């Protein structure tokens, strides 16, 4: 069974549109600053698509191109200026940033209340402490959980997170523990992936290695949430081999699954940022 | 096999003593402020024992009794004053704090560089982001890992963490993922503990439920790291039923295992705090 993203996306977008209208009625224009410190064509194309989606929801997105002539001090100054600018409600730093810029340091400087991507050290710590209500949680893990919950509850379920990256795998594992799942985190050093994921009902994949989950290691009981993103023969693909789709209980397609929900949740995160900043 | 704590404790103490002497030779007296906001007799006795241990290592420990007449604002003011006081190098807040005081809020205020216990939101976030070198890590998870590594390396091993509390289970799971173990986190909602831990070589227990690990769920291959603390018939006991000791490959005793190493690591954490504060 293919897990459908449409209903979730529609619900989130309706909620965001209503929230944006309420802010505008009070004279506040919800605004995200996107900092692009790369020449990577894929990133630039992704940013254009986000600007368009934001526009459709009535959200202003200001793109700051941070050129190769600028250094770490200027990077940090830009973040601090964004923290202090009350007309900027959310800040996104597109990844990867240019060589020579220290993204980790910036994640300790950005105001966690403007951290639309939920990647600052403080937001990661709040998630880890089980204080999600006070945190901005990264959009991709939220999307994975929303999609999984259309199939069934997570409390008491055995689940696997394959991948331990800072943007998806690690915060997702913490968020699943917060939801009382029994969580196993697997990764490149895991010696027997098939045996590791076998007892799990839900398998969340976020490695960016196409076909890592395939007919050889999935079972008919598995529900696959695929947050993998990679290009294979110029086609966007996930971690789960779509040819194994008949062999599992349910799965999210790539494209059209986790990524689609993620795109909507980013804007819901902006509205939460605004609440945490004291906007009604 | 009983896993011995003595060599690890001796090594840490020797390192701490040398570090303390070096600071004193430069005219700096390493000092921890302990804030006791409880009347719990067990906590008060634990604090007295820490003061004595600190004294043996040449470390000054200033106990601040925070009485029931004082409120949350005073609690936060005390933390901020401690942050600003250059003669205080580490701050410990004994848990649990009195009803009516918000410990979580304080964990977002305490300077992470003075957070000897490694429980501030920022330190938890740094651990989660794999940035342990910049963080103060909680002592009990560090002790568990040091003891486990006397038996064998953790990279690529299957390990279980039983318990998901904020001081041990959660940070320990993150630290084990950082060390490339394949980590399963089990807890009170886990439905079949025996099956969940069966494939794991190392089992870390931190629930405070005596006998949770017992002859019925451990195997001859298990290495048990027992961070549980509870009293049973007035005796200090861990999560692992000592009567099952013959049935596992190795285990840490309670008392004398994880707790003993933890007591030493707290003071090593103070020296790391001082390095992060810029003391040479």
Tell the CATH topology of A27-121: Rossmann fold (3.40.50)
Gap between the Cα atoms of B110 and B95, Å rounded: 15
Interchain CB distance below 8 Å, B125 and A130:
no
Q: Decide whether B12-116 matches B139-259 in CATH topology.
A: yes
Residues in contact with A275: Cβ distance below 8 Å, sequence separation at least 6, in sequence order: none
Residue B69: other Cβ atoms inside 10 A:
6
Helices then strands (H, E): number in chain A?
Answer: 9, 10
**Mean of all residue pLDDT scores within chain A:** 97
Count how many pairs of residues, chain A against chain B, have C-beta atoms within 8 Å. 114
The residue of chain B with its CA nearest to that of A185 is B183
pLDDT in tens, A79-114: 999 999 999 999 999 999 999 999 999 998 999 999
Residue the block writes with tokens 């696959």: A224
Tell the CATH topology of B12-116: Rossmann fold (3.40.50)
Report the share of chain A in percent with pLDDT over 70. Answer: 100
Residue the block writes with tokens 């202003």: A60
Q: Please state the domain extents for chain A.
A: 27-121, 139-259
The angle subtended at Cα B79 by Cα B74 and Cα B84, nearest 5°, is 120
Q: What is the pLDDT of residue A13?
A: 98
Q: Is A125 annotated as a binding residue?
A: no
Residues in contact with A39: Cβ distance below 8 Å, sequence separation at least 6, in sequence order: A68, A98
| Stretch A124-131: mean pLDDT | 97
φ, ψ dihedrals at B223, nearest 5°? -110, 115
Residue A151 scores a pLDDT above 90? yes
Interchain CB distance below 8 Å, B166 and A129:
yes
Residue A147 scores a pLDDT above 90? yes
Tell me the residue ranges of DSSP E strands in chain A. Answer: 31-36, 60-65, 90-93, 158-162, 182-186, 202-205, 223-226, 230-232, 235-237, 250-251
φ, ψ dihedrals at A112, nearest 5°? -60, -25
Q: CA-based diameter of chain B, in Å?
A: 56
Could you report how far apart the first and last alpha carbons of chain A are, in Å? Answer: 41
Q: What is the pLDDT of residue B70?
A: 95
**Residues 168..207 of A with a Cβ closer than 8 Å to B: which?**
170-171, 173-174, 177, 180-187, 189-191, 195-196, 199
Strand order from edge to edge, sheet including B90-93: B60-65, B31-36, B90-93
B139-259 CATH pick, 3.40.50.720, 3.40.50.150, 1.20.1090.10, 3.20.20.70:
3.40.50.720
Task: Give the length of chain B.
Answer: 280
pLDDT in tens, A167-190: 999 999 999 999 999 999 999 999
Q: What is the pLDDT of residue A136?
A: 98
Q: What is the pLDDT of residue B42?
A: 86
Successive 10-residue mean pLDDT values, chain B, 280 residues:
97 98 98 95 92 98 96 97 98 94 94 98 97 98 98 98 97 98 98 98 97 98 97 94 97 97 97 97
Gap between the Cα atoms of B227 and B238, Å rounded: 7
Q: What is the pLDDT of residue B144?
A: 98
ipTM score: 0.96
Q: Does A120 touch chain B (CB under 8 A)?
A: yes
Interchain CB distance below 8 Å, B180 and A196:
no
Q: Is B105 annotated as a binding residue?
A: no
Residue pair A259/A141 in contact by the 8 Å Cβ criterion: no
Q: How confident is the model at residue A277 (pLDDT cuts 50, 70, 90)?
A: very high
């Amino acid at each position: 069974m293919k897990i459908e993203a449409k209903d979730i996306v529609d619900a989130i977008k309706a909620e965001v549109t209503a929230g944006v209208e309420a802010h505008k009625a009070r004279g506040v224009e919800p605004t995200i600053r996107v900092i692009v410190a790369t020449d990577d064509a894929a990133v630039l194309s992704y940013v254009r698509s986000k600007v368009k989606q934001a526009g459709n929801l009535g959200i202003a997105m200001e793109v700051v191109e941070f050129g190769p002539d600028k250094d770490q001090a200027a990077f940090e100054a830009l973040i601090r200026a964004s923290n202090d600018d009350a007309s900027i409600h959310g800040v996104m730093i597109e990844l990867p940033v240019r060589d020579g810029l220290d993204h980790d340091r910036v994640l300790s400087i950005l105001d966690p209340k403007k951290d639309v991507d939920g990647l600052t050290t403080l937001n990661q710590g709040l998630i880890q402490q089980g204080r999600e209500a006070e945190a901005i949680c990264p959009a991709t893990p939220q999307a994975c959980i929303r999609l999984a919950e259309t199939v069934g509850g997570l409390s008491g379920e055995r689940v696997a997170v394959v991948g331990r990256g800072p943007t998806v795998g690690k915060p997702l594992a913490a968020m699943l523990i917060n939801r009382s799942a029994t969580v196993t985190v697997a990764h490149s050093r895991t010696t027997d992936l098939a045996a590791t994921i076998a007892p799990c009902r839900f398998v969340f994949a976020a490695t960016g290695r196409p076909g890592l989950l395939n007919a050889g290691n999935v079972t008919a009981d598995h529900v696959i949430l695929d947050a993998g993103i990679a290009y294979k023969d110029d086609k966007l693909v996930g971690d789960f081999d779509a040819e194994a789709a008949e062999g599992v209980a349910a799965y999210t397609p790539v494209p059209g699954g986790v990524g689609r929900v993620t795109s909507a949740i980013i804007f819901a995160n902006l509205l939460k940022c605004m609440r945490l900043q004291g906007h009604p």
